[in-house]
Amino acid sequence: MSTQAVKSWSEALRVYTNPRVLGMLFLGFSAGLPFLLVFSTLSAWLHDVGIERTVIGFFSWVGITYSIKVFWAPVIDRLPIPYLTARLGKRRSWMLLAQTGIATGLLGMALTDPASHIHIIALFALLVAFSSATQDISIDAYRIEALDKIYQGAMATTYVLGYRLALLAAGAGAFYVAEYQNWSFAYLTMAALMLTGILTTLIIAEPDVIKDQATIDREARLEHALGIDNTSGRLHKITAWFTDAVIAPFVDFIQRNGKTAMSILALIAVYKISDITMGVMANPFYLDLGFSKIEIANITKIFGFFMTIAGAALGGVMVIRYGIMKPLVLGAMMIASTNLLFAMLALSEPNINFLAFVISADNLSGGLATSVFIAYLSSLTNTAYTATQYALFSSLMTLPAKFLGGFSGIVVDTQGYFSFFVYAAILGTPAIMLAIHLLRKQGTQHHG
């Protein structure tokens, strides 16, 4: 399907009535629910029952599972689950298994006293985190395979909305339940909310994905080049599986994109750097300006929530209307330029209206850029290796940005907030230049 197929805005907006686009709302909720329950919400529970801060800090290590999910993504791409895969299909079977793992882990946490069985709580938290990362891999693969690439912006928008609603439930919602009941009942409630994802998985249809002949031929050539076709028996099965599931996705990406492959990987690595680097210092900045915690919470949570969703929805429509590359360039420009608004805020007297304007602009830009960027990453995958390639892209997307974000405090302490936000804006320049380069490259290819 052409990326320019839809001409009118009304046709573009109607994408949000597609059942599979709407279904991503509930899958997004299922994906977002476990995240805080093994991070900040869990930290609050452990603190309440008197667990030492050192031990609470160790619990953050369970989050490493989200960063290394690329290592078991090939298994999800290729390994069938006995009975379940035959009944539900490849994507839904792994989603259901992961969702059941999350619900079981949350239930186990709810029924365990952390004060006397902290090690058991840690094991259940690890089960939740590992299952949650597995669910992320499966849902990303389903989303990419369920509809054409042109719909990926809209699919990302409803996913982001569901994810954000889940963060509210697992954050503020869990705190409310714990306040009026207790933490165990709060986690029991969260385990019950996982039924949202389980029921959605049982209702939706498995995507129709056929492995094309070009992929089959490529894998055969790769096996021959590595001498695997000279082996036999169990050794042949193991090495052939590893080659097809782990090595082939990387070879496929390089061969399909040729000389532009490195430019694409560079864009993925730098696209979110400006946004993530700025985000590390955002809350300290608001507090240092003299705004109260209530003012910050009201504006960042209320304005932030609605403007992020509005931006994501606009991004989804723009992908339908203009294709992916032009909105991708716009998103990169908006992310960088909103950092300059924060620089202006750093030089001005504290003004609640100006703060609301800057945060609204930042979240609108972030929402638009996120939905478009997810659509872009989705367009890069081969459906023969959806889970593996997307897991690789999503890891590459955050690791460099998180590394640079670690130095943000040094810049603020030595240069001040104004210089920091100008620095964050400049960090967005490579993403703009690479996106423009790839847009021009795409235009050259179309006219060649």
Question: How do the domains of the chain map onto residue ranges?
Answer: 11-203, 248-447
Give the residue, 400 or 86, on which the prediction is more confident: 86
Percent of the chain with pLDDT over 70: 95
**pLDDT winner (highest mean) among 3-17, 91-105, 236-250:** 91-105
Q: CATH second-level architecture of 11-203?
A: Up-down Bundle (1.20)
Res 9 pLDDT > 50: yes
CATH superfamily of 248-447: MFS general substrate transporter like domains (1.20.1250.20)
The answer to whether domain 11-203 and domain 248-447 are alike in fold is: yes
Lowest mean pLDDT among 119-123, 125-129, 137-141, 144-148: 144-148
pLDDT interval class at 203 (50, 70, 90): very high
Confidence of residue 293 (pLDDT cuts 50, 70, 90): confident
Q: Whole-model pTM?
A: 0.83
Read off the pLDDT of residues 379-392 as tens digits, 9 standing for 90 and up: 999 888 899 899 88
Quote the mean pLDDT of the chain.
Answer: 88
What pLDDT does 7 receive? 56
Q: For 66-92, how does the pLDDT look when each residue is reduced to its tens digit (9 = 90+)?
A: 878 989 999 999 899 999 999 999 999
Q: Which of the pair, 382 or 282, is modelled with greater confidence? A: 382
pLDDT-above-90 percentage for the chain: 51
- Give the 3-state DSSP-derived string for the chain, with helices as H, strands as E and coil as C: CCCCCCCCHHHHHHHHHCHHHHHHHHHHHHHHHHHHHCCHHHHHHHHHCCCCHHHHHHHHHHHHHHHCHHHCHHHHHHCCCCCHHHHHCHHHHHHHHHHHHHHHHHHHHHCCCCCCCHHHHHHHHHHHHHHHHHHHHHHHHHHHHHCCHHHHHHHHHHHHHHHHHHHHHHHHHHHHHHHHCCHHHHHHHHHHHCHHHHHHHHHCCCCCCCCCHHHHHHHHHHHHHCCHHHCCHHHHHHHHHHHHHHHHHHHHHHHHHHHHHHHHHHHHHHCCHHHHHHHHHHHHHHHHHCCCHHHHHHHHHHHHHHHHHHHHHHHHHHHHHHCCHHHHHHHHHHHHHHHHHHHHHHHCCCCHHHHHHHHHHHHHHHHHHHHHHHHHHHHCCCCCCHHHHHHHHHHHHHHHHHHHHCCHHHHHHHHCHHHHHHHHHHHCHHHHHHHHHHHHHHHHHHHC
pLDDT tens readout for residues 328-351: 999 999 999 999 999 999 998 888
